[in-house]
A and B are shown apart, each in its own frame.
Chain A
Amino acid sequence: MNILYFLVGCSVLMALIFLAAFFWAYKTGQNDDVHTPGIRMLFDDEVVAEKSEEDHFSS
């Protein structure tokens, strides 16, 4: 059962790591704006090839 000492230590350490991760994320402002990124990801990349395709049809 002495393995429990080790496991308890592990579990506390894991929890501490998650807490630290949250601190880091919060302090670097990742939670400041939770609205805009949701809209931003919906924008399409621009299709640059559009013009050449037009030319192809017209010629």
Chain B
Amino acid sequence: MEDQNKTATQVLCYHCGEDLPKVKYQVGDKDFCCAGCMAVFKILSENNLCNYYVYNNNPGRQFKNESHLEYLDEPKIIDQLLDYKHESSSIITFYIPAIHCSSCIWLLEHLYKINPAIYSSRIDFLKKQVTISFNHDEISLRQLVETLNQIGYEPLISLQDVVQEHSSSVDKALVLKIAVAGFLMGNVMLFSFPEYFGLSGFEKQFQSLFGWLNLTFSIPAAFYCGRDYFTSAITSLKHRHINLDTPLALIIAVLFLRTAFEILFSTGPGFADTLTGLVFLLLMGKWLKQRTYHHISFDRDYRSYFPIAVTTLQNGKEKPVSINEIKIGDRLWIRNGELVPADAILMKGEAWMDMSFVTGESDPVHKVLGEIIYAGGRQTSEAIELEVIKPVSQSYLTGLWNNDNYKNNTEKQNFNDTVAKYFSLGVFLIAFAATGYWLLQNDSHKAWSAFTAVIIVACPCVLALSTPFTLSAILSVFDKKGFYVKNTDAVEELAKCDALIFDKTGTLTSNENAEIGFSGTISGEEKIIVGSLLRNSNHPLSRHILKALNVDRFYSLSDYKEVVGKGLTAKINNHSIYAGHLSMLPMEVESARESGVHIVIDHVYKGCFDIKQQWRSGLAQLILKLSKLKLLVLSGDTDKDRWMLDTIFTPKTTIRFRQSPHQKLHAVLKLQQGGNKVMMLGDGLNDAGALKQSDFGIALTDNINNFTPGCDAILKGSALNFLPDFIRLSKDGLKIIKISFAIAIVYNCIGIYFAVQGTLYPLVAAVLMPISTVTIISFTTLATRWFARKNKLI
């Protein structure tokens, strides 16, 4: 085993763990795959930070291109980013996607060794955030970010603040309420025991003390811990419909009033322990429902994709400006690889826009002077000058989010709320019937106690608990398989879906293991020539191809020229060589492919390197399993892959190509108007509108740390084949909830039997409630595990 490890580390880059190319970079006895990795190692070793490599093998990540950070010098933008600023010290929190292991924690918490002006840095590993306090007189924010970039930890600074600091404030209040409720429940139980065990005459003097203590503890239980139930019940009654909180609020109120009466008039011990126990359990259920993933954000929109600032030209000078301040008529300066943040007209330069964000089409589009370039396009060629015609908030892409036709969440009714209506009705009927009976018997005392007892006993608390417990158990099963669902409500939506829309690029195909293919013929000698040329370019395609060629030596070259985003040319050993886009080549070439890197050596067309799209494995089986659903494929791409899709899908499936984001959105809407519950599977920003509109939007990603558009669930690419099992388990989940409801009814019938007779002793209520709760919780947990095993998910 150890031998294996040794040989493994020798062929891998010491820093990032990538396979070593045949020509490798070396420092001492350590091998590196690229100059970037070597540079990081040098910085770390200079600063005595080589422990980084001790905690994990190959902890680094490959180096990315340099980015422009001029905007970090603008005071306005700095103020936006800083958490805190006082005299000479500042505190800032960055989101750093590259954080992935303990070495990262170690390195980032030792930043002060690289620059003493950094006082301290703290990592929150799960959120991938680092909070840095630094002296802003000695190190500027820009220098700080540059330092992070140098060691391979580039912070992601986008328009939507990805640093989620106070997002969990609702959660916090709830946890405090649970703490209080637990405290109250424990104490009240303690003071109720003597009553249940029977008090001797001698101890009777304590009875009223315990009673008053219980009443005191009931007040915060009802009005602090249970307040949300009252407000929710009141708002739902105002809208003339009954949700689950309505009967719960009623029960809390009745429990409290009856306890108060019994203790004030010393007629009995009251139901304080039932009240506090109920509130505690209800809050626990609520907490389970709210619990969500710290490290995944489900609410991203276009703003997370947009940078925080863009370079503008003012009187011929470059000036970074915050995106929100861009006005109509501003001149933007967009460099290679930068995003156009607002709809604009091309004024100067040659634009090759990668519109994959917007359309899903991966080939760059050529735009000429005077043409409109929509926001979301990424420039892949030289720097261009644009004039803004619409502010960011009103541009074409942003319109996807401001669309009014998004689902009305108020219309959604889950099982609980539907049942709650009939449940409350039934309980009231029984309660009034019992009261009427005892009033006819002229026993007003029993009438009152029967009325309150029925309401207390017929508590739908099981309903309020079984749903969160079942669904959160399902969530954790999903979670282990790489399927991260936003919350428990979403699981119910998943179970109801009957139509499924696929996006093609990135969803049915995978971007991760893209293979480089070559069409044409090329000799070994020519490969070396091509490799020697591509070695000088930083373009991702060049890097990919170079890696695929894996040549063992390089020639020196002269007359090297790179037209950014279009191609390269140089002279090598008296051969003139061109590599790049068709328009870059010295002669007209007839080629079926427009995209890709075309190679011409000595005026002879050799062929073209192309990234082959890799279809995900097991697709045909997956589609077969899903054939009960109505299936659709909406692709933003051209129909070049139609034959492949036809072999996978059944002829019934609707397959459409060249779909714009808006068309996708309308396809979802149309299905919904036809009464279908739509599940959408997509990956990019171009699916974002449809994902949001659909009843259950799944964002598919190969790397959970990558950015995903707003959605209901995030699915790992490798777990796509489990999708039918996930759907089945969610349906089983609803079954479990219904069964536990039936169990709860049985308990309620026992309780009601005592209650209508007006003889419900508090002890019965106090015992019945925990027993039914324990039964339900253990039933839901066991049943979920059983169903998960049946569906082969555990």
Interface residues of A (CB under 8 A from B): 1, 4-5, 8, 11-12, 15-16, 18-19, 22-23, 26-27, 32-33, 35-36, 39-40, 42-44, 46
Q: How far is the CA of A36 from the CA of B109 in the complex (A)?
A: 11
A43 and B106 contact, CB distance less than 8 A:
yes
Min distance, Cβ A42 to any Cβ of chain B, angstroms:
7
Contacts A26-B172, A26-B175, A43-B106; A35 near B190 (Cβ below 8 A): no
| Further contacts, 7 of them, CB under 8 A, given A12-B187, A26-B175, A26-B179 | A8-B191, A18-B183, A32-B124, A33-B125, A33-B126, A33-B127, A35-B126
Q: Is the CB of A8 within 8 A of B180?
A: no
Tell me if A36 and B202 are in contact (CB < 8 A). Answer: no
Chain B minimum-CB-distance residue to A4: B206
Known contacts A36-B123, A40-B105: A5-B209 contact under CB 8 Å: yes
Q: Which of B51, B187, B213 has the most chain A CB within a 10 Å cutoff?
A: B187
Q: Complex Cα distance A16/B213, Å?
A: 14
State A19–B187 Cα separation when bound (angstroms): 12
The CA-CA distance from A12 to B183 in the complex, in Å, is 10
Complex interface bits, B244-270 against A, C-beta within 8 A gives 1, otherwise 0? 000000000000000000000000000
Question: CA separation between A22 and B176, bound complex, in Å?
Answer: 9
User: In the complex, how many angstroms separate the beta carbon of A37 from the nearest chain B beta carbon?
Assistant: 9
B105 is contacted by which of A8, A32, A36 (Cβ under 8 Å)? Answer: A36
B203 interface hit (Cβ, 8 Å): yes
Pick 23 A–B contacts, CB within 8 A, sort by A: A1-B202, A1-B205, A4-B206, A5-B209, A8-B191, A8-B209, A8-B213, A12-B187, A12-B213, A15-B183, A15-B186, A19-B179, A22-B179, A23-B179, A26-B172, A26-B176, A33-B126, A35-B125, A36-B126, A40-B105, A42-B102, A43-B51, A43-B55
Question: Which residue on chain A has the smallest CB distance to residue B49?
Answer: A46
**CB-CB < 8 A to A1: which residues of B?**
202-203, 205
Report how many residues on chain B are interfacial, defined by Cβ distance under 8 Å: 28
Interface residues of B (CB under 8 A from A): 48, 51, 55, 102, 105-106, 109, 123-127, 172, 175-176, 179-180, 183, 186-187, 190-191, 202-203, 205-206, 209, 213
CB-nearest residue of chain B to A46 = B51
In the complex, what's the smallest C-beta–C-beta distance from B106 to chain A, in angstroms? Answer: 5
Q: Shortest Cβ distance from B700 into chain A, in angstroms? A: 26
Minimum CB–CB distance from A43 to chain B (whole Å) comes to 5
Of all chain B residues, the one with the shortest Cβ separation from A37 is B125
List, in ascending order, chain A residues with CB within 8 A of B127's CB: 33
Q: How far is the CA of A12 from the CA of B203 in the complex (A)?
A: 20
Residues from chain B with a CB closer than 8 A to the CB of A15 are: 183, 186-187
Chain A residue nearest to B186 in the complex (CB):
A15
Measured between beta carbons, the chain B residues less than 8 angstroms from A36 are 105, 123-126
A23-B176 contact in complex given A8-B209, A36-B105, A42-B102, C-beta closer than 8 Å: yes
Q: How far is the CA of A12 from the CA of B217 in the complex (A)?
A: 11
Instruction: Find chain B residues with CB under 8 A from A33 CB.
Output: 124-127
Complex contacts, B102 vs chain A, CB 8 Å? 39, 42-43
State whether B190 touches A11 (Cβ < 8 A).
yes
Name the CB-closest residue of A to B210. Answer: A8
Hey, which chain A residues are within 8 Å of B205, CB to CB?
Answer: 1
Question: In the bound complex, how far is the Cα of B109 from the Cα of A42, in angstroms?
Answer: 13
The 8 closest A-B pairs by CB, nearest first: A36-B125, A33-B124, A19-B183, A39-B102, A35-B126, A35-B125, A22-B179, A43-B106
| Residues of B with C-beta under 8 A to A22 | 179
Docked Cα-Cα span, A33 to B122, in Å, equals: 11
Question: Residues of B contacting A42 with CB < 8 Å?
Answer: 102
Chain A's nearest CB lies how many Å from the CB of B206?
Answer: 6
Closest to A5 in B: B209
- Chain B residues whose C-beta falls within 8 Å of the C-beta of A18 in the assembled complex: 183
Q: Which residues of A contact B175 (CB under 8 A)?
A: 26
Q: Which residues of B contact A39 (CB under 8 A)?
A: 102, 105, 125
* A30 vs chain B, min Cβ distance (A): 12
Chain B residues near A46: list those with CB within 8 A: 48, 51
- In the assembled complex, how far is the CB of residue A21 from the closest CB belonging to chain B, in whole angstroms? 10
Closest A residue to B55 by beta carbon equals A43
> For residue B206, which residues in chain A have a CB less than 8 angstroms away from its CB?
4
- Report the bound CA distance from A19 to B175 in whole Å: 12
- Chain B residues near A16 (CB, 8 Å)? 183
Residues from chain B with a CB closer than 8 A to the CB of A8 are 191, 209, 213
| Whole-angstrom distance between the Cβ of B183 and the nearest chain A Cβ | 5
The answer for the CA separation of A15 and B106 in the assembled complex, in Å, is 39
Q: What's the nearest-Cβ distance from chain B to residue A11, in Å?
A: 7
Closest to B205 in A: A1
Chain A residues lying within 8 Å of B48, measured Cβ to Cβ, are 46
Residues of B with C-beta under 8 A to A4: 206
Quote the shortest CB–CB distance from A51 to chain B (angstroms). 10
- Which of chain A's residues has its CB closest to B125's CB? A36
Query: In the assembled complex, which residues on chain B have CB atoms less than 8 Å from the CB atom of A23?
Result: 176, 179
Kindly report which residue of chain A lies nearest to residue B175, judged by CB atoms. A26
**B113–chain A nearest beta-carbon distance, Å:** 10
Tell me which residues across on chain B come within 8 A of A32, comparing CB atoms.
Answer: 124
Q: How many Å lie between the Cα of A27 and that of B166 in the bound state?
A: 12
Give Cα distance in the complex from A55 to B460, angstroms.
Answer: 76
Q: Provide the bound-state CA to CA distance between A33 and B131, in Å.
A: 13
Contacts of B55 in A (CB 8 A): 43
Residues of B within 8 A of A35 (CB): 125-126
**Measured between C-beta atoms, what is the minimum distance from B221 to chain A in Å?**
13
B446 to chain A, nearest CB (A): 34
Shortest distance from the beta carbon of B110 to any chain A beta carbon, whole Å:
9
Contacting residues, chain A, for B202 (C-beta < 8 A) = 1
| Alpha-carbon separation in the docked complex, A18 to B186 (Å) | 13
B209 — which chain A residues lie within 8 A by C-beta? 5, 8
CA distance A49 to B51 in the complex (A): 15
Residues of A within 8 A of B176 (CB): 23, 26
- B-chain residues with CB within 8 Å of residue A11 when the two chains form the complex: 187, 190
**CA of A27 to CA of B176, assembled, Å:** 9
User: B187: which A residues are within 8 A, CB to CB?
Assistant: 11-12, 15
Shortest beta-carbon distance from A27 to chain B in Å:
8
Q: Which residue of A lies closest to B168 (CB)?
A: A32
Residues of A within 8 Å of B106, CB to CB, are 43
- Find chain B residues with CB under 8 A from A12 CB: 187, 213
Closest residue of B by beta carbon distance from A39? B102
Interchain CA distance A33-B203 in the complex, whole Å: 49
| B172 surroundings in chain A (CB, below 8 A) | 26-27
Q: How far does the alpha carbon of A47 sit from the alpha carbon of B611 in the complex, in Å? A: 49
Contacts of A27 in B (CB 8 A): 172
B252 to chain A, nearest CB (A): 21
Report how far A35 CA is from B127 CA in the complex, Å. Answer: 10
B199 CB, nearest partner CB in chain A, Å: 12
Closest to B194 in A: A4
Complex Cα gap A27–B175 (Å): 11
A36-B105, A43-B106 known; A19 vs B180 contact (CB < 8 Å): yes
Cα-based distance from A43 to B323 in the complex (angstroms): 42
Residue of B nearest to A42 (CB): B102
- B537 CB to nearest chain A CB (Å): 39
Task: Tell me the minimal C-beta distance from A36 to chain B in angstroms.
Answer: 4
Query: Within the assembled complex, what's the spacing in Å between the Cα atoms of A26 and B123?
Result: 19
Query: What distance in Å separates the Cβ of A13 from its nearest Cβ neighbour in chain B?
Result: 11
Contacts of B191 in A (CB 8 A): 8
Q: Which residues of A contact B124 (CB under 8 A)?
A: 32-33, 36
> How distant is the Cα of A27 from the Cα of B203 in the complex, in angstroms?
41
Whole-angstrom distance from the CB of B176 to the nearest CB of chain A?
Answer: 6
